[in-house]
Structure 1
């Protein structure tokens, strides 16, 4: 069982009140709450506000996700480009799998 599973059933206002008390007097806070809020403060230090806007993500990583989205597009819709039925022709399909639609360009190839 997760050590912090009790937080799922706790009212949000209670957590905010406990955090306010922790900020005023960390030593006066119950040890389990203190440990929780120390982890919270640690996460706030590591993931600063300026990183939340996406500025901290390298462009190579963003491009990799664009490529993964393109691959998923071919997996889900690529069969619509094939001629697998010899009896009747498949209706024409407008391609939506252009790399530009996935945030990529010819220079990225």
Structure 2
């Protein structure tokens, strides 16, 4: 009877050891699966954030370009205006020099 009890205890210990071993193995598998899922989710979130960031940047560039068009047009008009004034002044100066040359040579 004592031998049977010892054998039953030994069998129970072996079953308990096997149960613990299976539980650890299953726990490791669950952890690896959870880590893989977490990594996949992280990659998805990161990719989505990059897309959103790119869209925000593209929208900002487009908005900036829209705002710069009128400024550039105004600057172009002002530049043309300044060029016209300078050209008029230049032409007047040339005419004055020509008049003086003609007057000096005409009076000789």
What's the TM-score bracket when you normalise by the shorter of the two chains?
under 0.3
Of structures 1 and 2, the one with the larger relative CO (CA 8 A, separation 6+) is 1
> How high is the TM-score relative to the length of structure 2?
0.24
Structure richer in helix, relative to its length: 2
Structure with larger Rg = 2
